[in-house]
Amino acid sequence: MIVNFPSELIMQHPFVAGVAGVSAGAALAIWYGVLYSGSNVVAPVIKTIYPHKAVALTFDDGPTPGFTDRVLDILRQQHAHASFFLIGSQVKQYPELVHRMIAEGHTVGNHTWDHHHHGVWHGEAYWRDQLQRTSAALAEIIGREPTLFRAPMGFKTPPQARAVRKSAMRYIAWRVRAWDTLKISPRTICRIVTSQIRPGDIVTLHDGLEPARRNCSQESTIQALPEILKILKSRGLASLSLEQALNSPVYQ
Ligand SMILES: [Zn+2]
């Protein structure tokens, strides 16, 4: 809990100042451990593909007809590979898009069953159910369960981490985030990605609309993608799928 103390009270009373300091420290630790996607405090995360001198583009929240199929078209045209962190309830509705991802050499991972924002308040049983339902839906289509998990919004909690570990899965985070769930232009998305990206980075973009964003659009991402891939290519950076990039099995 974050407590707001009047500043004069803090100045006059060392005990209050101490409590205020501990509260601020605890808030900072929670922010870092739970909310920062790249933190290893709650569980180990993978956010780069070193030593590859390539990058790994990842797309979250699909599959979504009208966006995912166009991302796949662009990747095919540019001979690039990527990874898709899929929402189980959408996998169930659009299996043909998952078939296409696998047929075209991309990797698929688990991004929970329904991407509910209140999930962070739930216990291990909730997370095990979210993981298992999604992995089972994927296994029905591709014959195997994924080992890669991306937490919704990148938020990790100890019960979630226990469920991930017991499901023999690993967290995949990112080093570069395109912020393409906000209303920003294709040019801005391209600038954010290409100004930050370094060899070995995992990058997060979105090809889908999680339930809380059903009326939004990923049009800017689709329009930015060809230019991003062109710029990466000019720097000698191929985009690899995580199956190509990681030295360990991405399915079980
Ligand atoms: Zn997501």
C-alpha 26/C-alpha 15 separation (Å) is 16
Task: Verify whether residue 206 is a known catalytic residue.
Answer: yes
Cα separation, 171 vs 38, whole angstroms: 10
- 37 C-alpha to ligand 1 centroid (Å): 12
DSSP string, 175-216: SEE--TTSS--HHHHHHHHHHH--TTBEEEEESS--GGGTT-
Which residue among the candidates 52, 60, 180, 207 is catalytic per the annotation? 60
Please pick, among 61, 81, 206, 207, the residue that the annotation labels catalytic. Answer: 206
pLDDT at position 117, please?
86
Looking at residue 5, what is its pLDDT?
Answer: 47
Centre of ligand 1 from the C-alpha of residue 19, in Å: 36
Distance 32 CA to ligand 1 centre (A): 19
Q: What residues flank ion ligand 1 with Cβ within 5 A?
A: 60-61, 152
* Å from CA of 59 to ligand 1 middle: 9
Please report the pLDDT score of residue 118 as a whole number: 86
Predicted TM-score (pTM) of this structure: 0.86
Q: What is the pLDDT along the chain (252 residues), one digit of tens a residue?
A: 444 445 555 556 666 666 666 666 666 666 666 666 777 778 889 999 988 899 999 999 999 999 999 999 999 999 999 999 999 999 999 999 999 999 999 999 999 999 998 878 899 999 999 999 999 999 999 999 999 999 999 999 999 999 999 999 999 999 999 999 999 999 999 999 999 999 999 999 999 988 788 778 899 999 999 999 999 999 999 999 999 999 899 999
Q: Is 21 exposed, middle or buried (0-12, 13-18, 19+ CB in 10 A)?
A: exposed
How far apart CA 40 and CA 160 sit, in angstroms, is: 14
Q: What pLDDT sits at residue 130?
A: 98
Distance from the CA of 223 to the center of ligand 1, in angstroms? Answer: 20
How close is the Cα of 198 to the center of ligand 1, in Å? 23
Helix (H, G, I), strand (E, B) or coil at 85: strand
Cα of 12 vs centre of ligand 1, distance in Å, is: 46
Q: What is the pLDDT of residue 51?
A: 84
Q: Which H or E run includes 92?
A: helix 88-93
Catalytic residue check, 60: yes
